Amino acid sequence: MNDMFPEDIFRKPIMQRITTDEGIVHKPNWQFNEEPLQKKLLAMEAMSSPALQKALHSNLTEDFISSLYYKATQKPPENINIEIKGQTRSGKSTVGITLGMMISRWWGYEFTADNILPNQGELLYKLKDAKYGETFLVDEQTPETYGEGMLRETEQLGTNLNICAKKCNNLIFIYPPTFTSRNSPFGLEALAKDTTNRYVKCFYYDLRRKEFGGGQIPRGYILLPKFMDLKYKGLKNEKWSDVRKANWNEKHYDFDSELEEKYEGKKDLWIEDVRNMDAGIRDKKKTELAESLALDPQFMGLKGNGKKEAYIQLLINKGRIIEMAKTELKTIVDMANVISEVNFDENGS
C-alpha cells in the first residue's frame, strides 16, 4: 500500500479459499446485496448490450483511483470533479466521504463535516474563502430548487467551476436522479452495498466521451470502501455521544466514524429545514444583509430606493458580497426599510 491507497481506508476484504484445476487460490469474498429486480433487469439489458455486459465484468477501481491521484499530484495539479447518483440508501454518501477523505489527504488537508454542504448555495459561500486544493462534498439530496435568485446562483456556480479549476478546489456532487453536466469527467452510480466487508459497488461512467454514450452507458464498475475509524468503533458505550446512543437505540445501527455521525446529523437538519419550509441559505444571507444595512446610517440616509440599490451593487462590485439578481437588490432594500421601522422583538416576531 502507498499514499494512493491508504491502508486505514482500503481495508482488505474477507478472502475465500477456492480450489481450481491449477491449485488453491484466494479471492475476495464479496457479498453485495443488490435489489432483486434491479439485478434481474441489469442481466436482461446486458443480454442485448455488449457494452453493458463488458461493464459488468470490468473492475476499474485501481485505474479510477490512479487517475484521481495523478490529477492531484502532477505538476501542476488539476482539480477533480466527480458526480455521484443512485437510489436511496445505495451508498452514495459513503462513497462521497471516502473520496473526499482520500483527495483531501493527497492535498495535505483533513476532510471534516465543514467540507460537507447541502446545496450549491452553501458551496458558493464556502468557495469565497476556500483554500487552494480544498475539497468539498455537495450532497444535493435536499436541493434548493426554487426561490428568488436561484437562476443567478446557478450562473454563478458555472463561473465558480471555472475558478475552481484555477484554485484546484475539488468538488464531489451527490445528486440522486441523474448526472448534472457540471464539467465532471467522472460519474459514479452507487449500486449495492456489502455490509460485511463495508464496501460499495458503483458503475463508472466516463462523462467526457459522448461517442460512448456519455453518462448513459457505464464503462465498468468501481469498488470503494466505507471509512471505518477503529478508535471511534472501539469506544466503550459509556463514552458514546448522545447522538450515537440515540441512533443505536432507535435504529439499531451504529456509525463507523465520527465523520459519519456528524454527516448524518447534518442530513437530519437539512431534512428538518425542508419539512419546516425554512428559508434557504440565500434567503438567510439576504436577511442578514438587510439587517446590517438597516443599521448603516449611510445607506439609510440615501434618498430613494434606486440609490439604495446602487449602494448594494457597489458592495457587490467591491467583492464584499456575492452577486445578486436585480430583483434581489429591490427585495433587500425593501426588507432593510421595514427592519428600520419595525421592532420585530417587541412584536414577538
Block residue for cell numbers 445528486:
175
Exposed / middle / buried, residue 282 (Cβ in 10 Å: 0-12, 13-18, 19+): buried
Q: How far apart are CA 264 and CA 243, in angstroms?
A: 10
pLDDT at 279 over 80: no
What pLDDT does 184 receive? 83
What pLDDT does 146 receive? 42
Least confident residue range of 79-93, 231-245, 270-284: 270-284
- CB-based contact 189:202 (threshold 8 Å): yes
pLDDT band for 253, please (50, 70, 90 cuts).
Answer: confident
Least confident residue range of 143-152, 170-179, 289-298: 143-152
Q: What is the pLDDT of residues 207-227, one digit of tens each?
A: 887 655 555 789 999 999 999
Domain 15-227 has CATH 3.40.50: yes
* Averaged pLDDT of the chain: 85
What pLDDT does 155 receive? 58
Which residue type sits at 331? Answer: T
- Which residues is 24 bridged to in the sheet? 19
Q: How far apart are CA 217 and CA 223, in angstroms?
A: 18
Q: How far apart are CA 180 and CA 182, in angstroms?
A: 6
- Provide the percentage of residues in the chain whose pLDDT is more than 90: 49
Block residue for cell numbers 465498468:
220
pLDDT at 39 over 90: no
What does each C-alpha distance from 265 to 90, 268, 270, 271, 311 come to in angstroms?
Answer: 18, 5, 9, 10, 39
- What is the distance, to the nearest Å, from the Cα of residue 285 to the centroid of all Cα atoms in its chain? 21
Q: What is the pLDDT of residues 257-270, one digit of tens each?
A: 999 999 998 888 87
What pLDDT does 182 receive? 63
What does each C-alpha distance from 137 to 71, 89, 171, 173, 181 come to in angstroms?
Answer: 18, 17, 6, 6, 16
pLDDT band for 345, please (50, 70, 90 cuts).
Answer: low
What pLDDT does 343 receive? 75
Higher pLDDT, 125 or 341: 341
What pLDDT does 217 receive? 85
- CB-based contact 259:97 (threshold 8 Å): yes
Q: How far apart are CA 225 and CA 142, in angstroms?
A: 25
Question: b vs e for 88-126, b when ≥16 Cβ sit within 10 Å of the residue's Cβ?
Answer: eebbbbbbbbbbbbbbbbbbebebeeebbbbbbbbbbeb
DSSP string, 294-309: HT-HHHHTSSSHHHHH
Q: What is the pLDDT of residues 101-153, one digit of tens each?
A: 999 999 999 999 999 998 777 887 788 889 999 999 998 765 544 444 445 55
Q: What is the pTM for the complete model shown?
A: 0.77
pLDDT band for 280, please (50, 70, 90 cuts).
Answer: low
- The secondary element (H helix, E strand) that includes residue 18 is strand 15-20
Higher pLDDT, 3 or 228: 228
What pLDDT does 149 receive? 45
What pLDDT does 142 receive? 55
- Domain boundaries defined on the chain: 15-227, 282-341
pLDDT band for 346, please (50, 70, 90 cuts).
Answer: low
Block residue for cell numbers 450549491:
120
Higher pLDDT, 269 or 41: 41
Region 21-50: what's the mean pLDDT? 89
